[in-house]
Amino acid sequence: MSNVEAEPAEVRCQVAVDGVRPTQGPRVDVLTPRDVPLGGPRAMSVRRTLPQRARTLIGAWCFADHYGPDDVAETGGMDVAPHPHTGLQTVSWLFSGEIEHRDSLGSHAYVRPGELNLMTGGHGISHSEVSTPRTTVLHGVQLWVALPGEHRHTERDFQHYVPEPVWIDGAEIRVFLGSLAGASSPVRTFTPLLGAEIVLQPHTTVTLAVDPGFEHGVLVDHGNVRLADVDLRPAELAYVHPGTGTLTLVNASAEPARTVLIGGTPFEEEIVMWWNFIGRSHDDIVRARTDWEKNSDRFGAVEGYPGNRLPAPALPNAIIASRRNPPRH
Ligand code: MN
């Protein structure tokens, strides 16, 4: 996915946050989403919860877009022309529909529900993402992971993994990165990470052991979910501060509920994010943008996409500020 916000450097000022709700046990902040159009004539839009003013990262997770369920006959589906990435990995995870992925490694893959597709941008990659003609309903998440400084210029890569679901107490869990509930993903990450889909059956309470050194995020796709004593609405992202060894999720309703759980060790580096690039300085961003605009080998070429690649937006007039998480209390 490409970040097509018109003024991507400015969005962190447009955000509403519910703020800290006092809890017993884990400290939980609720991050509310904002709607962002993806562009194109009918402009499918996504609900973005990361980054925002109140929080840049959860572990190394630095970008969270949630979309659908969308009737593609109405939205036009997804059609993102070739665009570059640097300094990050993209995680595509679908609940419904199918996306055709092509990248400058030569990967040609179909992103399908329950299957992890992890693309490492490293120094530079480009890719296109198009929902397929047989897709009627498109529904999923697109997440980005910031690469740590020592690996941010690593080689481009693409990995695919289909986790077997595990069941605990009425919760069906698919662990696509890291370890949870006795399941472990073999997919390599550059910082300790957790990523899992959790479907809660009606009237289910599940308590999961988690790494107390991690911070966590619980993104609610649909249904009513209580985390600690905080009621979460669909599309909200609950941030759980580090220091807790268990997470308890409750679905007290008569309908199933679905969440995506992310986590990782707090990412302490300051990063500079602009468009589809992550660097450490304004100059890193300018260099990446110039390399894309002059068609440098850095990002390679995508074969087979029927159309032109995306041009980079104009740089802002100001120096792009670095960002990090708010100080911990
Ligand atoms: Mn992308």
Taking alpha carbons only, the member of 30, 6, 98 closest to residue 235 is: 30
According to the model, what pLDDT value does residue 259 have?
Answer: 98
Backbone angles phi, psi at 325, to 5 degrees: -70, 155
Between the CA of 123 and the centroid of ligand 1 the distance, in Å, is: 14
According to the model, what pLDDT value does residue 146 have?
Answer: 98
Between the CA of 179 and the centroid of ligand 1 the distance, in Å, is: 26
Percent of the chain with pLDDT over 90: 84
Instruction: For residue 17, name the pLDDT band (cuts at 50, 70, 90).
Output: very low
**Residue 306 covered by a domain:** no
Asked whether the predicted pLDDT for residue 8 surpasses 50, the reply is no
Instruction: For residue 12, name the pLDDT band (cuts at 50, 70, 90).
Output: very low
Which pair of tokens denotes residue 194? 């957790």
Asked whether the predicted pLDDT for residue 42 surpasses 90, the reply is no
- The highest-confidence range among 17-21, 70-74, 238-242, by mean pLDDT, is 238-242
According to the model, what pLDDT value does residue 222 have?
Answer: 97
Which pair of tokens denotes residue 76? 């036009």
Between the CA of 84 and the centroid of ligand 1 the distance, in Å, is: 7
Cα(307)–Cα(300) distance, integer angstroms: 16
Between the CA of 226 and the centroid of ligand 1 the distance, in Å, is: 32
Q: Who surrounds ion ligand 1 at CB < 5 A?
A: 1
Could you report the per-residue pLDDT of 166-186, keeping only the tens digit for each? 999 999 999 999 999 999 999
According to the model, what pLDDT value does residue 13 have?
Answer: 25
Between the CA of 142 and the centroid of ligand 1 the distance, in Å, is: 9
* Domain around 153: 11-293
Asked whether the predicted pLDDT for residue 7 surpasses 50, the reply is no
Between the CA of 199 and the centroid of ligand 1 the distance, in Å, is: 26
Percent of the chain with pLDDT over 70: 91
According to the model, what pLDDT value does residue 41 have?
Answer: 58
pLDDT (average), residues 232-242 = 97
Length of the chain: 329
Which of 20-29, 157-166, 168-177 bottoms out in mean pLDDT, i.e. has the lowest? 20-29
Tally of domains in the chain: 1
Could you report the per-residue pLDDT of 190-233, keeping only the tens digit for each? 999 999 999 999 999 999 999 999 999 999 999 999 999 899 99
Cα(267)–Cα(247) distance, integer angstroms: 21
Instruction: For residue 325, name the pLDDT band (cuts at 50, 70, 90).
Output: confident
According to the model, what pLDDT value does residue 279 have?
Answer: 97
**Residue 269 covered by a domain:** yes
Q: Identify whether the C-beta of residue 229 lies closer than 8 Å to the C-beta of residue 74.
A: no
Between the CA of 306 and the centroid of ligand 1 the distance, in Å, is: 17
Q: Identify whether the C-beta of residue 67 lies closer than 8 Å to the C-beta of residue 45.
A: yes
Asked whether the predicted pLDDT for residue 124 surpasses 50, the reply is yes
Between the CA of 37 and the centroid of ligand 1 the distance, in Å, is: 15
Asked whether the predicted pLDDT for residue 19 surpasses 50, the reply is no
Between the CA of 144 and the centroid of ligand 1 the distance, in Å, is: 9
Q: Which residues contact 154 (CB under 8 A, 6 or more apart)?
A: 120, 122, 123, 147, 190
**Residue 47 covered by a domain:** yes
Between the CA of 284 and the centroid of ligand 1 the distance, in Å, is: 18
Which of 20-24, 44-48, 122-126 bottoms out in mean pLDDT, i.e. has the lowest? 20-24
According to the model, what pLDDT value does residue 69 have?
Answer: 96
Cα(209)–Cα(211) distance, integer angstroms: 7
Greater confidence (43 vs 64) lies with: 64
Instruction: For residue 15, name the pLDDT band (cuts at 50, 70, 90).
Output: very low
Backbone angles phi, psi at 126, to 5 degrees: -135, 150
CATH number at residue 228: 2.60.120.10
pLDDT (average), residues 256-277 = 97
**Residue 322 covered by a domain:** no
**Angle, alpha carbons 277-263-232 (nearest 5°):** 105
Between the CA of 2 and the centroid of ligand 1 the distance, in Å, is: 4
Between the CA of 19 and the centroid of ligand 1 the distance, in Å, is: 30
Could you report the per-residue pLDDT of 131-152, keeping only the tens digit for each? 999 999 999 999 999 999 999 9
Asked whether the predicted pLDDT for residue 10 surpasses 70, the reply is no
Between the CA of 287 and the centroid of ligand 1 the distance, in Å, is: 18
Average pLDDT, the chain: 91
**Residue 23 covered by a domain:** yes
Neighbours of 73 (CB within 10 A): 10
